[in-house]
Chains A and B, each alone.
Chain A
Amino acid sequence: MSTTTSTINKGPALKLPEKNYLNQTYGIRSWLLTTDHKRIALLYLVSVTFFFFVGGFFAMMIRLHLLTPSGYLLSADTYNRMFTMHGVAMIFFFLIPSIPAILGNFLIPLMIGAKDLAFPKINLLSWYIYIVGGAFTLYSMVTGGLDTGWTFYTPLSTVYSNSAVAPAVVGIFITGFSSILTGLNFLVTVHTMRAPGMTWFRLPLFVWAHYATSVVMILGTPVVAITLALAAMERLFGLGFFNPAMGGDPILFQHLFWFYSHPAVYIMILPAMGVISELIPTFARKKLFGYHFVAAASLAIAVIGFLVWTHHMFLTGQSTYAAIAFSFLTFLVAIPSAVKTFNWTATLFGGSISFDTPMLYAFGFLGLFLIGGLTGLFLGCLGVDMHVHDTYFVVAHFHYIMVGGAVMGYLGGLHFWWPKITGRMYPEWLARIAALVLFVGFNLTFFPQFLLGYLGMPRRYHVYPPEFQVYNVMSTAGASILAIGYLLPMIYLTWAAFYGKVAGNNPWPATGLEWTTASPPPTENFEVTPVVTWDAYDFHNRPDLGLDIPGATPGVVVPAHGHD
Chain B
Amino acid sequence: MHRTGALYGQFNTLEQQKDTASLGMWIFLVTEVMFFGGIMLAYTINRHTYFHAFAMGSNTLSLKLGGFNTVVLLASSFTMAMGVWSAQTGKQKLLTLFLTLTIALGFVFFGVKYIEYAQKFHHHLVPGRNFDITYCINNPSKCEDMDAAELDIERKEIDEAQAADPDLNAHAQLYYSAYFGMTGLHALHMVIGAGLLFWLLRNAFAGIYTPVWNTPVDIVGLYWHFVDIVWIFLFPLLYLIDRHK
Q: Which residues of A contact B (CB under 8 A)?
A: 35-36, 109, 114-120, 180, 184-185, 187-188, 191-193, 218-223, 225-227, 230, 233, 237-241, 246-249, 252, 256, 524, 529
Contacts and interface: CB of A to CB of B under 8 A. Distances in A.
Contacts of A524: 1, 9
Contacts of A233: 177, 181
- Is the contact region of chain A dominated by helix, strand, or loop, or is it mixed? helix
A191 B170 contact: no
Interface in B42-69: 42, 45-46, 49-50
Contacts of A248: 174
Given A184-B31, A227-B38, A192 B174 contact: no
Interface stretch (B18-26, B113-121, B203-211): B18-26
Of the listed residues B9, B35, B49, B171, the one surrounded by the most CB atoms of chain A closer than 10 A to its CB is B35
24 contacts: A115-B1, A116-B1, A119-B24, A120-B10, A180-B31, A185-B24, A192-B19, A192-B23, A221-B31, A222-B31, A222-B35, A222-B37, A230-B39, A230-B42, A240-B127, A240-B173, A240-B174, A241-B174, A246-B173, A246-B174, A247-B50, A252-B42, A256-B41, A529-B12
Interface of B: 1, 9-12, 16, 19-20, 23-24, 27-28, 30-32, 34-39, 41-42, 45-46, 49-50, 127-128, 167, 170-171, 173-174, 177-178, 181
Closest 6 CB pairs of A and B: A226-B38, A222-B35, A116-B10, A222-B34, A239-B177, A192-B20
A184 B27 contact: yes
B31 A218 contact: yes
A184 B20 contact: no
Contacts of B181: 230, 233, 239
A184 B24 contact: yes
Given A238-B127, A240-B174, A256 B19 contact: no
Most B-side CB within 10 Å, residue of A116, A192, A246, A248: A192
B170 A247 contact: yes
Contacts of B127: 237-240
Contact of A115 (B10, B19, B41): B10
Nearest to B30: A218
A188 B27 contact: yes
Contacts of A187: 23, 27
A124 to B, nearest CB: 11
A247 B54 CA distance: 13
Contact of A193 (B10, B31, B42): B10
Contacts of B38: 222-223, 225-227, 256
Contacts of B34: 218-223
A314 B19 CA distance: 45
Nearest to A214: B27
A227 B181 CA distance: 12
Given A219-B30, A222-B34, A247-B167, 17 more contacts: A36-B1, A184-B28, A193-B10, A219-B31, A223-B34, A225-B35, A225-B38, A226-B35, A226-B38, A230-B181, A233-B177, A237-B127, A238-B128, A240-B170, A240-B177, A247-B174, A256-B38
A249 B47 CA distance: 13
B204 to A, nearest CB: 22
B86 to A, nearest CB: 26
A361 B119 CA distance: 64
A118 B24 contact: yes
A131 B67 CA distance: 43
Nearest to A109: B10
A262 to B, nearest CB: 15
Contacts of A193: 10-11, 16, 20
A390 B42 CA distance: 26
B216 to A, nearest CB: 13
A246 B172 CA distance: 10
B125 to A, nearest CB: 14
Contacts of B36: 226
A256 to B, nearest CB: 6
Given A188-B23, A218-B30, A247-B174, A116 B9 contact: yes
Nearest to A220: B34
Most chain B beta-carbon contacts within 10 A, residue among A191, A237, A239, A247: A247
A18 B144 CA distance: 78
- Output the residue of B16, B27, B167, B181 with the most chain A CB within 10 A: B27
Contacts of B32: 222
Nearest to A191: B23
A529 B27 CA distance: 27
A35 B1 contact: yes
A545 to B, nearest CB: 27
Contacts of B35: 222-223, 225-226
A223 B34 CA distance: 6
Nearest to B32: A222
A331 to B, nearest CB: 26
Contacts of B30: 218-219
A477 B156 CA distance: 71
A297 B178 CA distance: 39
Contacts of A120: 1, 10
B53 to A, nearest CB: 8
Contacts of A180: 31
A258 to B, nearest CB: 12
A106 to B, nearest CB: 15
Contacts of A225: 35, 38
A476 B163 CA distance: 60
A256 B43 CA distance: 12
Contacts of B11: 193
B27 A218 contact: yes
A191 B49 CA distance: 43
Contacts of A114: 10
A223 B170 contact: no
A222 B49 CA distance: 25
Contacts of B39: 226, 230
Nearest to B9: A115
A223 B37 contact: yes
Given A118-B10, A218-B30, A241 B20 contact: no
A266 to B, nearest CB: 16
A218 B25 CA distance: 12
A117 B170 contact: no
Contacts of A192: 16, 19-20, 23
A220 B30 CA distance: 11
A529 B173 CA distance: 60
Nearest to A236: B128
